[in-house]
Structure 1
Amino acid sequence: MSATSYQKVATPAPANPRSRVILASLVGTTIEFYDFYVYATAAVLVFPHLFFPAGNETTALLASFAVFGAAMVARPLGAIFFGHLGDKRGRKITLVGALLTMGIATFLIGALPTYPSVGWLAPLLLVILRLAQGFALGGEWSGAALVATENAPAGKRAIFGTFPQLGAPIGFIIANGLFLLIAAALPSEDPSRPSQAFLDWGWRIPFLFSAVMVVVGLWVRLNLVESAAFEKTVERGAVQKVPLAAAFQGHWKELILGTFYMLATYVLFYLMTTFSLSYGRAATTAPLPGLGFSYNHFVLMMIFGVVFFGIFTLVSGPWADRFGRRRTLIWVTLAIAIFGLLWVPMLSAGTLGVIAWLVLGFSLMGITFGPMGALLPELFPANVRYTGSGISYNVSSILGAALAPFVAVALWSYGNGSPFWVGVYLSAMAVLTLIALLLGRETKDVDINV
């Protein structure tokens, strides 16, 4: 039975206070995205210099992005593992375990030896910890989304579902703001390369700082009460022995649709946050030419754009509750497809054009990302919801996020420094998402407790 066929019924009062629900869903994803942004920034600024043999800079950057993408491969495995626990043992304990795993892995990256010290052991350890990050992330997002949506008041699930999504822009601002402060305190004479002090020890600070954020997140989540949706599943005796098998057997269409719903979102997300940092900082006369901005200058422009990411993430919730998730996403996906075709004229229009490109891209990101916090959980019934939403979200991370930075650099090189083909790639992924949305159905009226 499809999740979208459930009848709309009154939602009982949530067991958790609204403030606790909002904070618990927001703090975990803020830490999640903080950790990933810290790694993404280091993958551009630091890791090509410290964790791979000296040589071709483009090859080192691609290798760094390959390690970045390795975490995406581990995410579906984490979704299966934590989804199994979340659908059998409850949302609360699973979220605590995912957050703890993520925090430990991120902290240890900040303590790693580098390639000049231990040779190939350095990138090997980096890959292992990156895989651990991805494994933990596989269970983090879906759990946070379930905390928000399963405790939301009637008619406000999309609004509450935007709070875990809001962790993305907040995490970005904290992570990049911290890197920016460290770079300012340890200035470099060469704007295309961090200072030696930054490479020696400065880059480690953001990774080590994540331990403080994890402690706060654990304190909030340990005070949660289990959701009514899971408690009712237990009372009905509907807990599945193997949630993964049940999800594939009864909801394989939703798994496929959910995966492609997220595709354009993921590609846009990582092009705007990871590829843009490489392209924006590359010298105009480099072998792979870019925009030629200094790191500090470009990151400040990115942070300005991310403010719009946060604003439109919040705006998307009321829109999705009023007009429906599907209609909202169809229109924004069309806009993303058009946006991909406008990259060259916008990026060729000087500093104002680049700022406009960042603002527009991040605004579209907020509108497409916000409704996913409600849409993906609503595709599945309560007894396989953690597993189903997690698999869709994280398999899409392989098709989108894992490949996007790598494909973008390859297309950037193919275009001899022009971003044209990178924009076309984004448009093509948006078309695939649009097809999935047209094939899917509206979910805003399903009963979240069934």
Structure 2
Amino acid sequence: MNTPEPNLVAGVPRGRIVVASMVGTTIEFYDFYAYATAAVTVFPHLFFPKGNPTTALLASLATFGLAFVARPLGSILFGHFGDRIGRKTTLVASLLVMGIATFLIGVLPTYHQVGLLAPALLAVMRFSQGLALGGEWSGAALLATETAKPGKRAWAAMWPQLGAPFGFLLANGVFLILVLLLGFDTANPDLDGAFLTWGWRIPFLLSAVMVAIGLYVRLRLAETPVFSRAVERGERLRAPVAEVFRKHWRQLIIGTFVMLATYTLFYVVTTWALSFGTGKKAAHGGGLGIPYLEFLQLQLISVLFFAAMLPVTGLLADRFGRRVTLLVITVGIMVFGTTFGLLLSPGSATTTSTLVFLIIGMTLMGLTFGPMSAVLPELFPTNVRYTGSGVAYNASSILGAAIAPFVATWLATTYGVAWVGVYLLSAAALTGIALLVMRETRDTSLDEVGQTAAAQSR
């Protein structure tokens, strides 16, 4: 067997693999974050206008959570083809579905134009986004890990994770520019103003350009060598999802709860924090009253810390192992959960304390998110890896992300902001238990995961 040159994997430059794994997730997360931002600032006015503002916000956040219900279904659908026909083709398909759904959101009619059909169509598009993202992350993670150099899997797996903060920066950066140019004020939204009339559509329409770039890069890839060797050994299955639930249910449960704190942390610090930070001050259950434009700038600053921590944690996970690295970080998340009342209390919070809160949260997010695209694929054999890692990742999205903004909003409104921290601390405690149960996977060969799991189960 010919060994590829150090900078080539199956004849494909390693740099192209890095770009392909990162550009796809950047586009996918851009689309996802554009919706998350609009769910707080736009959709309550244009798609759910009836009732009081809190009810409209909760309805908008419910459609935001709908995508997380779709994501496990997407991981099963795309995982089946990813494990049956290969990673490359499936990654192209997931990117197309996400891009089309996001573009169509940008041309949807509003409630004032077509009534209840508007939120119904929005829900369909949001469901399609979730379906696509359910297949995107695991495919990008496998593209990185299954082509990595020995001993460098966590470092290689860090690249697709960078798509998350890059997508966040792009989505919120576009919204920031539009708000500045069009003069949108969230405290006193003008339904007839330029932003709510047409400006909000631009971030969704721009996704078409990025999808074209992503497709160009991904169509020039080759199949991963780990998957190709599995095909040569005749290991492909007719029904990968059945195999996962029958033989690898333990790894599914562990992987789901290992991701729980990561998901809860991120959507508390982004989606919920945005609605709470920009919410009007009130005697009870109010927000911080920070102008939307100012809060968006704070988030953009904090996400830089998210991006900066990803290479750090990739190196740490390769050096010290996945379990120890993540256990220490998870304890840090639990400690962070005790600071919500101090940093975000409506009676005493300042712009500075809010920025400190966001920076700490995003720093921890970078540290905990970085190794995940190595950890979850390493739990499963090659012939079910796309399905298994995707189902675990996206099942966790329901428990940790879909309900996080909704639960956090309810807790902050009913009991106070400190209870949102208790909610995060509880999720991190469950992740800590899963990490204690999980075996270390740093030195496991991806070609031998199935044999290792079988040996341990005997």
**Which band: TM-score by shorter chain?**
over 0.9
- Structure 1 distance, partners of 2:18, 2:188, is 40
Cα distance, 1:420–1:97 mapped onto 2, change above 3 Å: same
Contact 1:21 1:148 in 2 (8 A): yes
Task: Say if 2:17 is the partner of 1:21.
Answer: yes
Task: Say if 2:238 is the partner of 1:238.
Answer: no
Q: What is the deviation of 1:389?
A: 0.1
Partner in structure 1 of residue 112 of structure 2 = 116
Equivalent of residue 215 in structure 2, options 207, 214, 218? 218
- Structure 2 distance, partners of 1:205, 1:216, is 18
Task: Say if 2:260 is the partner of 1:263.
Answer: yes
Contact 2:41 2:186 in 1 (8 A): no
1:124-166 Cα deviation digits (max 9, x unpaired): 0000111001001110000000001101111110011111111
Gaps in structure 1 of 5+ consecutive residues: 1-10
Q: What is the deviation of 1:284?
A: 1.7
Q: What is the deviation of 1:14?
A: 2.7
Contact 2:34 2:171 in 1 (8 A): yes
Contact 1:272 1:361 in 2 (8 A): yes
- Structure 1 distance, partners of 2:110, 2:97, is 23
Contact 2:61 2:406 in 1 (8 A): yes
Partner in structure 1 of residue 452 of structure 2 = none
Task: Say if 2:270 is the partner of 1:277.
Answer: no
1:351-395 Cα deviation digits (max 9, x unpaired): 221111111000000000000010000000111000000000000
Instruction: Tell which deviates more after alignment, 403-412 or 97-106.
Output: 403-412
Contact 1:150 1:449 in 2 (8 A): no
Partner in structure 2 of residue 424 of structure 1 = 422
Identity of aligned residues (%): 59
Q: What is the deviation of 1:190?
A: 6.1
- Structure 2 distance, partners of 1:185, 1:322, is 47
Task: Say if 2:20 is the partner of 1:37.
Answer: no
Gaps in structure 2 of 5+ consecutive residues: 449-458
Contact 1:159 1:318 in 2 (8 A): yes
Contact 2:84 2:237 in 1 (8 A): yes
Equivalent of residue 52 in structure 1, options 40, 48, 51? 48
Equivalent of residue 327 in structure 2, options 326, 330, 339? 330
Contact 2:288 2:349 in 1 (8 A): no
Partner in structure 1 of residue 456 of structure 2 = none
Contact 2:187 2:280 in 1 (8 A): no
Q: Which has the higher contact order (CA 8 A, sep 6+)?
A: 1
Partner in structure 1 of residue 314 of structure 2 = 317
- Structure 2 distance, partners of 1:353, 1:188, is 25
Counterpart AA for 1:388: G
1:382-419 Cα deviation digits (max 9, x unpaired): 1100000000000000111111011111111112xx31
Contact 1:192 1:282 in 2 (8 A): no
Cα distance, 1:362–1:194 mapped onto 2, change above 3 Å: farther
Contact 1:192 1:294 in 2 (8 A): no
Partner in structure 2 of residue 69 of structure 1 = 65
1:243-276 Cα deviation digits (max 9, x unpaired): 0111112211100000000000000011111001
Equivalent of residue 301 in structure 2, options 304, 313, 322? 304
- Structure 1 distance, partners of 2:115, 2:131, is 26
- Structure 1 distance, partners of 2:350, 2:124, is 41
Matches within 5 A, 1:94-105: 94-105=90-101
Q: What is the deviation of 1:288?
A: 3.9
Q: What is the deviation of 1:55?
A: 2.1
- Structure 2 distance, partners of 1:300, 1:379, is 38
Cα distance, 1:66–1:349 mapped onto 2, change above 3 Å: closer
Q: What is the deviation of 1:194?
A: 6.0
Aligned length: 439
Cα distance, 1:440–1:194 mapped onto 2, change above 3 Å: farther
Q: What is the TM-score with the length of structure 1 in the denominator?
A: 0.95
Q: What is the deviation of 1:74?
A: 0.6
Partner in structure 1 of residue 455 of structure 2 = none
Task: Say if 2:210 is the partner of 1:209.
Answer: no
Q: What is the deviation of 1:189?
A: 5.5
Partner in structure 1 of residue 387 of structure 2 = 387
Task: Say if 2:416 is the partner of 1:446.
Answer: no
1:280-338 Cα deviation digits (max 9, x unpaired): 10122387411111111111011100000000012110000001111110010111011
- Structure 2 distance, partners of 1:75, 1:81, is 10
Matches within 5 A, 1:104-253: 104-188=100-184, 191-193=187-189, 196-253=193-250
Counterpart AA for 2:356: A
Contact 1:165 1:313 in 2 (8 A): yes
- Structure 2 distance, partners of 1:285, 1:194, is 22
Q: Could you say what secondary structure the match of 1:203 adopts? A: helix
Cα distance, 1:216–1:257 mapped onto 2, change above 3 Å: same
Contact 2:317 2:371 in 1 (8 A): yes
Counterpart AA for 2:9: P
Partner in structure 2 of residue 6 of structure 1 = none
Contact 1:105 1:129 in 2 (8 A): yes
- Structure 1 distance, partners of 2:304, 2:241, is 38
- Structure 2 distance, partners of 1:49, 1:270, is 22
- Structure 1 distance, partners of 2:126, 2:399, is 18
Cα distance, 1:313–1:49 mapped onto 2, change above 3 Å: same
